[in-house]
Chain A
């Protein structure tokens, strides 16, 4: 799964107390450190610049040199080629479907399970279920891949639906961990008073508790989306019909096809990573606070 490491954020669950701005300890440094950091930032930005530059080159330009030269004259035809070669609209739709189902499924299953667990902690069944679901953190996909692929195949789930289902399940540990930590901080009195007014557990959860979970829903949702959208391993192994592959998987054709020009390949890579980068740039503040909440909560 790699990419985002959701577990990372969870792990710190509760390590920090109230975070405090403890910055600005060395007032005299400033430009020096900034310059060093800008240099370091180039290691992030240069590969992305390379993708943009290569995508905009003509085939002749793309075939020569290091690739870092400015593309001129600009050639946007590569994007059209990449679009048809990878079947972009279809792959995009499949990726979107899988991520949407993954996010919705994770939010739904993990939140209700965590709620049941936290509110019935004194019952052994619920405590054990917690340990059971969390233990999965130690079961990485490669360990169960062989029988799992067989199983999904036999159940007719060797398709995007099966991929989404497995994405939800492999996101479960981390999400239950986050939700449980958060639920414990929501005072139960609120729910008690709603119950006195005659609300059932079902109503209490959906009308009262779930809305209170909003910040954690955002965090869990962001991690589920990134893990699902960017995953290569599971869709490539689970989905048997290659016309139903996701965006990351279809990029593989540029490693196989000899005749393809580099500019087309990079145009395709760029279209593959653009959506998450775009979302990140537009919703940066929101994403960062969500991710950081995962780390601090």
Chain B
């Protein structure tokens, strides 16, 4: 077996320069023309992951696409019905509402999460007391189960806050925000952001560490105040991290499920029902093929949104 591969050292430097490679094109040793035969062990190493993945993710996905063209109810016989599931989908007010809610909720949560995480990152990066303890506290929501903390917040919104408002004489606040279809989404945004802040915070903290101290020293010499330094130095230099947090946040929030189940279970009515929850109604009620069509559309929407955002990233010269 010809294992006399490269005499060249492979990629120490490449890895150090931060792997600024595209997601699709990871650090390739710039085209090594010489090919050696691949040893069998490598195939053995690669096979389990790829095979299991194909069997349990790719094939079901393809099978689902086929089902979306039928009138299947999840079992028994079904007939081919072409694109009629899709045609109905685009005029179904329930489905359209779930898309409206999910996208609106995702935008609001991305904004709230990033504003809070950015503020916390700047605060934690300043000279403060008890830095380690504070940082540990802010990372805490990351280790807590989403649905369980949603149950806790359910009580906060439906009982604690109205009781406190009553005690303070704020009549307008004594009803639960969860009981009103117009305000329930606010609670969902708050709790989802509560959980999402730590991972965004980690990224911003990493970004702040990468800003050279000298830039701030130069700004000091020019007499810049701390507000000016934030808007003219910190924020522009963190732009790439902001985009990354936005892309990843969006991707996660579009699939919101656990927190919503614990907080509102899609209610009141269907006002906070996410697309994921709508798709899952296909398990019951004979909508199987129809919701499968919904899943396909949802997949396309997710990919389109991600690709659009990746385009923005590329234009900004930042890579994943």
Contacts and interface: CB of A to CB of B under 8 A. Distances in A.
Interface string A113-157: 101110111110111011111101111111111111111100000
Given A120-B38, A147-B67, A129 B125 contact: no
A54 B282 contact: no
A24 B9 CA distance: 39
Contact of B155 (A54, A131, A151): A54
Given A22-B212, A37-B128, A295-B203, A272 B18 contact: no
A195 interface: yes
Contacts of A77: none
Contact of A23 (B127, B138, B159): B127
B298 interface: yes
A195 B279 contact: no
Contacts of B206: 12, 15-16, 19, 292, 295-296
A41 B141 CA distance: 11
Contacts of B315: none
Contacts of B14: 184
Contacts of A25: 125-127, 213, 216, 226, 229
Given A14-B19, A30-B128, A3 B142 contact: yes
Given A66-B167, A146-B282, A288 B136 contact: yes
Interface of B is mostly: helix
A116 B40 CA distance: 10
A273 B148 contact: yes
Contacts of A24: 126-127
A31 B129 contact: yes
Chain B: number of interface residues, binned into ranges: 35 or more
Nearest to B19: A14
B207 A233 contact: no
Contacts of B21: 14
Interface string A249-274: 00110110000001001100100110
Interface size class of A (residues with CB under 8 A): 35 or more
Given A251-B148, A276-B143, A295-B203, A43 B126 contact: no
A187 to B, nearest CB: 6
A296 B203 CA distance: 8
A84 interface: no
B110 interface: no
A185 B127 contact: no
A113 B145 contact: no
Given A16-B18, A16-B209, A229-B145, A237 B155 contact: no
18 contacts: A8-B199, A12-B203, A13-B19, A15-B244, A19-B210, A30-B126, A33-B126, A37-B134, A38-B134, A41-B134, A48-B140, A50-B160, A133-B49, A139-B61, A147-B63, A185-B11, A187-B12, A269-B151
